[in-house]
Structure 1
């Protein structure tokens, strides 16, 4: 499959079996936890279809002017893959193997502005790849220490990203997912700090640990209610039945 963007010829081809993918480590210890948290709440809320893909530091590929380009976003949401999952173990090629990601998220690193690189020459920068080659509708850049979140939306008229303004709750609407993305402060997996979270129109999508705690509190409240009722019955001379 081939497309022309300005002076660039984009071809969607699977990576050759002998293509050597980069084996760079993630930038810091927090990134895997941040990425896993984004996926977990979607899955537990029933918002992660079986044919969706949420890759983390995983190669997304295109062929630009005859040269292979691979970028590995820190997290992405691909609504649907159209091939067997065994075929996308090493990498994923949009258009050929399923949908374009509807959002890619980069956790800001100390590298030379990589998340903002619009370099069009080979190898192209991340920003250029997401904006002009993949044409991903939403691009988010998150700085975990400060909690600063920037969300860019692809303007269909200009073909360029424009910085979005959050709502009154400081959440950003991701239309393709029918969810809001925002920053939340708290503790998970022994890490206290800023996290990216999902909200729907009425509530925060919870993690598994939060659902367990919610159920524990519900059971405790039910126990207390039963004990109060039993005490009232005894006060009235009635022995409650088990």
Structure 2
């Protein structure tokens, strides 16, 4: 682990370093954006409240204080016990390991044509070139978990740091439970933002997918509609009961009137009904 305090020269802050790659064509493709948002929206750990669980999509990760210009840009990552900005001016431009002091807990890379070698550590790099993503996550930052998802082949691979190396984990039906986070990560076949497909998504201990905001709103709407239907049924039942009670009272009044007529007839004939 680097001794950040040993350096005499002050290290740059996130405001001093670029937040975009030189020559970058722009934002990532649509799938990267949607998939990152889905991971962020469903990453709700029971162990780490939202203000201590930082997630990032396509954010520069500066990893080496000896070479502060070097960075990687994970498609998605989560860091635990890291503060989340509460004010707009405090939002991060980038993630600096010497400033944060905490490496990501999990990094997810989404394979694109031409990136498989870089993401899986198979590309050959020169001696004077910066290390690839795999080496940075595995050896420099020692990120505990590293996931790679290939949507073209519908293949999700997850690696865990064992000693000094990543080892592939055995996934059951494309899922794996991360005990430290209290969440599981797996491949979900469903519709997100109106797009049908297979996506990475978090699930809970019972195996249920963590609900999306839209799903929660739909559930609340269904609950309100069900409550309204039940209220209407209860009002109908009360009105019916009132009608039935009124009818019974009318029948009782009619019987009482008939009985009184009979009594009056008997008395008119000189018969005392009380003596019968």
Q: TM range, normalised to the smaller chain?
A: 0.7 to 0.9
Normalised by the length of structure 2, the TM-score is 0.70
Give, in whole Å, the separation in 1 of the partners of 2:84 and 2:13: 15
**Cα drift, residue 153 of structure 1:** 0.7
Q: Could you say which structure has the higher helix fraction? A: 2
For the Cα contact (< 8 Å) 1:45–1:205, is it kept in 2?
A: no
Deviation of the 1:55 alpha carbon: 1.4
CA distance in 2 between partners of 1:191 and 1:45 (Å): 28
Q: Report if aligned partners of 1:27, 1:109 keep a CA contact under 8 Å in 2.
A: no
What CA deviation, in whole Å up to 9, does each residue of 1:57-113 have, x standing for no partner? 111112276574200100000113369786773322225423110000011111242
Decide which of 200, 219, 223 is 1:196's aligned counterpart: 200
Contact in 2 for aligned 1:60/1:70 (Cα 8 Å): yes
Aligned length: 228
Q: Which residue of 1 aligns with 2:36?
A: 35
Match of residue 213 from structure 1: 218
The 5-angstrom pairing of residues 1-242 of structure 1 reads 2=2, 13-14=11-12, 19-20=17-18, 21-23=20-22, 24=24, 25-42=26-43, 48-63=49-64, 66=67, 68-81=69-82, 89-113=92-116, 114-117=118-121, 119=124, 121=127, 122-156=129-163, 159-167=164-172, 170-202=174-206, 203-237=208-242
Secondary structure (helix, strand or coil) at the match of 1:176 reads coil
Higher Rg: 2
Tell me by how many angstroms 1:208 deviates: 0.8
Superposition deviation, residue 218 in structure 1: 1.0
Q: Which moved more, 1:66-75 or 1:53-62?
A: 66-75
Deviation sequence 1:4-54 (CA, Å, 0-9, x none): xxxxxxxx9546865445142344211111111111223698955324321
TM-score (norm 1): 0.79
Q: Distance in 1 between matches of 2:85 and 2:101?
A: 10
Gap regions ≥5 residues in structure 2: 4-9, 245-276
Deviates further, 73-82 or 14-23: 14-23
Q: Check the 8 A contact 2:35/2:199 in 1, yes or no.
A: yes
User: For residues 109 and 48 of structure 1, do their structure 2 counterparts lie closer, same or farther at Cα, with a shift above 3 Å needed?
Assistant: farther
- How has the CA–CA distance of structure 1 residues 44 and 36 changed in structure 2, closer, same or farther, with 3 Å as cutoff? farther
> 2: distance between equivalents of 1:67 and 1:165?
36
Q: Secondary structure at the match of 2:224?
A: helix
CA distance in 2, matches of 1:65, 1:201: 41
CA distance in 1: counterparts of 2:225 and 2:83, whole angstroms: 46
User: Hey, what's the Cα distance between the residues in 1 that align with 2:53 and 2:79?
Assistant: 6
Asked if 2 retains the 8 angstrom alpha-carbon contact of 1:80 and 1:98, the reply is no
Q: Alignment RMSD, CA only?
A: 3.2
Partner Cα distance (2:44, 2:115) in 1: 34
